[in-house]
Each structure stands twice: as structure tokens, then as C-alpha cells.
Amino acid sequence: MMGVFAWADPATGLVSNAQPADPAHLGFLLPTFNGWNWQRAYPYCPAPPLPGAPITGLILRPGMPCVLAVQGDFYTPFPNGAVAGAKVWADPLYGIAYCADGGGYIQTPWVCMQNLPGGGPARISSFATPFN
């Protein structure tokens, strides 16, 4: 799924929203578009929701190039809402962001930049912290 966290296997270069058993690099999943793949890399919304995932997101087709951003400012969905100034945690099964460790979540270098009651997209940053 795009716009959430993912892990890259340093041995194979494969990227997945599910954390592999071996140590892997964590980043924010972004598509790579260029002149030759813009049509094939176009993200699509899956017909059925991902089994067990708390959100439905845009899917990047398997085998297409992508980038894992290790820092930056992004918008990502928070199914349980967001709290400005809270650390961002990643679900190791789906890469979805949370503002609290739900038991087994992975801490990321990002911070929530805005309050968001309920679910929806909120801004996260690895560069700044909110003023409040």
C-alpha cells in the first residue's frame, strides 16, 4: 500500500508493508514515476479491502519501482486519529501509522504535526515538531 510505512529487505531489495523476519530498512513508501512507467505504475484502489487492514489504500502494482523515504513531511492515514507532538508508530503487519504503541508496533522517526479526532489523513514530519 502506498502512503504508509514499508520495509526494504537489504539482501533482495524487495519492499513490503509487512515487516520481514530479518532486519530491514523502514521508510515511507512512495511510487517512482518516470516517462516509461507512468501508466503501469498508476496506483489503484483495491476492489476488496486488504484482509484485516484497518484502512483501504492505494496499491502499487507488484514489481513496480518505489522509494522508501527515511525522512520528510507526508500525509498518512491514522485509523484511530492523531495527536500533535506524538511519536508515530508503524503497524508491522500493514505499515499503517498510529500515535501510540498498540503492542508490538515499531517506533518511527516521525512526529504527528496535527490533531485529528477519529480517522483520516494527518501530516507527519521527521524535520519539525508542532508549535503546541
Return the closest-CA partner of residue 79 out of 70, 89, 69, 71: 89
pTM: 0.83
Q: What is the pLDDT of residue 54?
A: 63
Q: What is the pLDDT of residue 64?
A: 76
What are the pLDDT digits (tens) for 88-109?
A: 999 998 899 999 988 899 999 9
Grid coordinates representing 106 are 515499531
Grid coordinates representing 45 are 484502489
What is d(CA 69, CA 102) in angstroms, rounded to the nearest whole number?
Answer: 24
Least confident of 38-47, 108-117, 122-131: 38-47
Q: What is the pLDDT of residue 35?
A: 54
Q: What is the pLDDT of residue 60?
A: 75
Q: What is the pLDDT of residue 47?
A: 46
What are the pLDDT digits (tens) for 8-57?
A: 988 888 888 889 888 789 999 887 766 555 555 555 565 445 556 666 66
What is d(CA 98, CA 5) in angstroms, rounded to the nearest whole number?
Answer: 11
